[in-house]
Structure 1
Amino acid sequence: MFEPKQTVKNDPEKRWYQSDRVFFGFGACHILAGVFLEDPPLEGFYGEWIVPAKGYSGTHIYATNGVLAFDFHGYSYRENLLAKYWRGQQKRCPDWAATIIEIDFHLLDTAELSKRKHLGADQYFNDPRPRAKQFISAIKPPTFSRGRNAAGGHACQTSPK
């Protein structure tokens, strides 16, 4: 699991010039989810927030329809995203715990984000919304086959870029 250096995290310009996956994965996930939810390529998506238990860090916001999820990794099954996230956090801190809540505020509203200790789009070195749109447009939504895969689940593939 990537852990940003404090010198980068505290410097808006250095934070901005990180790769998209690092930028949206470790500090601007809520912006990516907010932009995604403005015009989701698939129906039924909403925001979810992983809120660590008191005294722990490791918050994350992503878009989901309850089955699929979208974040800085692209599309994945929601349960796989959560399992990987929990493993990564518990590797660093074995008793790490969190609650998942459905987002009930606009993810691009600076005042709402500030209440929850997240930066609004206008608080970054540059506007992250166009960057998020470009990132999202480069990832094709998954396609589904009518059959089942070898593991017995429904087949889901991400279209090649």
Structure 2
Amino acid sequence: MAVTASGVFRRTAIERADQRVSWERTDQAFFSSGACHVLAWTCRDFYPDQGIALAALYLGDFEHPLHVYARWGRWVFDASGWNLESELLQANSDFEGLPVREVETIRTDLREFCEKHVHRQPHQYWADPTERARAYVARYNPPWL
């Protein structure tokens, strides 16, 4: 699957206001915008022996990361599957019309990250997205296979 910028799937006002409506979007839309951080942590946990890191993408002058993804060398995993990190950064920068300001390696746990960046923890969704994220990760062959 080609890289698609996360902003393509930006939530509408009703999707932001109603967690069930947000939940009912396609997996790609749900994990692109609104639950990318859950997908990234799930990917890392799915492959515990691969040394997968987590990264936060900042564009322009956004205070909080625009997108969160799993990183393995030059490869990344997000709602577009496994792609080169350079392609993911370019797609998001081009779509938003903003330069990449920073790609930060995340060194906190999910709870701390969510608190710092005003993201929902899994138990704060309409339903816990962890199993949905595991099934999504399992659909894609990682680059080391």
Q: What is the alpha-carbon root mean square deviation over aligned residues?
A: 2.1
Structure 2 gaps of 5+ residues are 1-7
CA contact (8 A) 2:57 2:100 kept: no
Q: Aligned equivalents of 2:127 and 2:62: distance in 1?
A: 31
Structure showing greater Rg: 1
Counterpart residue number, 1:102? 105
CA contact (8 A) 1:42 1:141 kept: no
What aligned pairs does 1:78-117 form with structure 2 within 5 A after superposition?
Answer: 78-90=85-97, 95=98, 97-107=100-110, 109=111, 111-117=112-118
Q: Secondary structure at the match of 2:41?
A: helix
Q: Aligned equivalents of 1:9 and 1:89: distance in 2?
A: 19
Which of 30, 40, 44 in structure 1 is aligned with 2:37?
Answer: 30
Q: Does 1:60 align with 2:61?
A: no
Regions of 4+ moved over 3 Å: 52-58
Q: Kindly, what percent of the aligned residue pairs are identical?
A: 25
Counterpart residue number, 2:130? 129
Q: Does 1:8 align with 2:15?
A: yes
Q: CA deviation at 1:106?
A: 1.4
Q: Secondary structure at the match of 2:30?
A: helix
Q: Aligned equivalents of 1:87 and 1:26: distance in 2?
A: 17
Q: Secondary structure at the match of 2:51?
A: coil
What letter matches 2:16 in structure 1? Answer: K
Structure 1 gaps of 5+ residues are 145-161
Q: CA deviation at 1:6?
A: 1.1
How many residue pairs get aligned? The number is 138
Q: Secondary structure at the match of 2:92?
A: helix
Between Structure 1 and Structure 2, the one with more strand by share is 1
CA contact (8 A) 1:41 1:141 kept: no
Report the TM-score when normalising by structure 2. Answer: 0.84
Which structure exhibits the higher relative contact order, with contacts defined as CA atoms closer than 8 Å and separated by 6 or more residues? 2
Q: Deviations over 1:29-56 (max 9, x none)?
A: 0000011111327723100001234357
